[in-house]
Amino acid sequence: MTRRANVAKVQIARKDLGLDDVAYRLMLERLTGHTSSADCTDAQLGLVLDEMKAKGWTPKVVTGGRIGRRARPVADHPSAKKARALWLSLWHLGEVRDPSEPALEAFARRQLGVEQLQWADQAQCYKLIEALKAMAERAGWSQDTSGLPRGTDLVKVLKVGLLRLQAKRLGMRLAIDRQPGAIFQADHSALDQAIRSLGDQIRAAATADAG
């Protein structure tokens, strides 16, 4: 099989697994030292495909010998998106080992007893979100936003809480916290980038401790 075909298989697997850009590139870098499949050798692409198969992806040969797979639809209703955001946040905190969509689906299946998150009704999704919030609370990331002034950006409050807990776990102090209120003036993209960066450091530290 040509190298181009292997690159295409990686992209198909990435889409089927529902890996976001951050999770995908972190996996590539961990396995190959590259952040793009186009830069990988055939052997490295094989490692990536093996990892994706371990995460639940299975290729299927279809008419004409092409490799394909009918992707399981990713749950796209608002509650599922909120559950996915919590799942990824817990990954950046080091509480979840696998950020992939199949891992979230497996967690949801244990919690709700439904085969696919897409099939869950709103009551079931509420139960899933509450289970994820409970995980966050046990980890020290408060989900309580009651009592805040009307008009407060609650999502930003939660992101700041996550960022501060990450910094605490790494034994560091956020430079921006030295300026009262400054951290709340940061936009969402800056907070997201900081959360991803500290998440990388938390996982690296965990790997070093395990080694």
Residues 149, 158: Cα–Cα separation, whole Å:
15
> pLDDT tens digit string along 45-70?
888 888 888 777 777 644 344 444 44
> pLDDT tens digit string along 117-172?
666 666 777 888 999 999 999 999 999 999 989 888 999 999 999 999 999 999 98
Place 187 in a pLDDT band, splitting at 50, 70 and 90: confident
- Overall size of the chain counted in residues: 211
> pLDDT tens digit string along 112-123?
776 666 666 667
Can you tell me the mean pLDDT for 95-124? 79
Residue type, 46: G
Query: Is the pTM for the entire model greater than 0.85?
Result: no
Instruction: Give per-residue burial for 22-38: e unless 16+ CB within 10 Å, then b.
Output: bbbebbbeebbeeeebe
What is the pLDDT at residue 135? 96
Tally of CA atoms within 13 A in the half-sphere of 63 that contains its CB: 0
Can you tell me whether residue 61 is helix, strand or coil? Answer: strand
Tally of CA atoms within 13 A in the half-sphere of 5 that contains its CB: 7
What is the pLDDT at residue 140? 97
Residues 111, 34: Cα–Cα separation, whole Å:
36
Contact predicate 190/157, CB 8 Å? no
Q: Is the pLDDT score of 35 beyond 50?
A: yes
Separate counts of helices (H) and strands (E) for the chain: 9, 2
First to last CA, the chain: 36
